[in-house]
Structure 1
Amino acid sequence: MKIDPKYIQELGALVIRSEDVVEEPEWNALAFVFDITEGHMANSGFIYVDDEIIPAAGTEEDPMALNRKIREFQNAIFEACGHKFVQLLIQMNSAGKIHIDFEFDNPKRWNMGPANYRAMREQLRPVFK
């Protein structure tokens, strides 16, 4: 599947403009999970500052800008492969590396709750080689 790199660049730019990210200028890495259903989108994630892990959300001055870009990306993926993702994972480091992963079938793959919260913080931590 060929994906236009503009989507990845635009998504990365929108994520690092999120209020929680801007408020943590010393961040080393971040991970956001977007849950996408028909008519609804939610996100949660973490900002990593050395050994500290800070819960975060991807919101900015225009909160719909990121949601619109994700919907546009979802449609582009659908056109390319015939499937819509239900979750999107965006991981970045402060050096500008970005990794995007999709979940097409299991809408709870990266869900966080009291039972798995601590484990998920580490599971979502970006590791770039």
Structure 2
Amino acid sequence: MNIDPKYIRELEQLVLRCKDVVSEQNWEALAFVFDVNEGHMANSGFIYIGEEIIPASARITDDKMALSNKIREFQNAIFEACGHKFVQLLIQMNSAGKIHIDFEFDNPKRWNMGPANYRAMREQLRPVFN
């Protein structure tokens, strides 16, 4: 799949503007899952500071639609490249500037969290960069 790397850079810059990320200045890593449906988008995630794991959401206070709009644009670019729209998007980053993006095209619950799997998902989503 040939996708313009500008989307990765733009998503990274938008995530770094999110209120929860800005407020946790000592973060070491983060992970956000975006559920992307027709007419609706939601997200949840975690900020990692050492062994501490802080629940977080990705919202930009002064431009509430910027991240959602960029994700929709990215979803359309992926669709044009491969003919499929992702239903979930995972963004993982560390404070050293590494970023990993993953897609789910078929299972809209792949990275969903609930009482039964909340603790396991916190660790499963923790970024690991080698």
Give the alignment's TM-score, normalised by structure 2: 0.99
Unaligned runs of 5+ in 1: none
Matches for 1:1-129 after TM superposition, within 5 Å: 1-60=1-60, 61-129=62-130
**1:84-114 Cα shifts (integer Å, max 9, x gaps):** 0000000000000000000000000000000
- Between the aligned partners of 1:118 and 1:16, the Cα distance in structure 2 is 25
Q: List structure 1 segments (4+ residues) > 3 angstroms apart after TM superposition.
A: none
**1:48-83 Cα shifts (integer Å, max 9, x gaps):** 011100000000121100000000000000000000
RMSD of Structure 2 on Structure 1 (CA): 0.4
- Between the aligned partners of 2:82 and 2:65, the Cα distance in structure 1 is 26
Unaligned runs of 5+ in 2: none
Q: How many residue pairs end up in the alignment?
A: 129
1:2 is displaced (CA, Å) by 0.7
Q: Which amino acid aligns with 1:121?
A: R
Q: Which amino acid aligns with 1:120?
A: M
Percent of matched pairs sharing the same residue: 81
Q: Which amino acid aligns with 2:59?
A: T
Q: Which amino acid aligns with 2:52?
A: E
Give the alignment's TM-score, normalised by structure 1: 0.99
1:16 is displaced (CA, Å) by 1.1
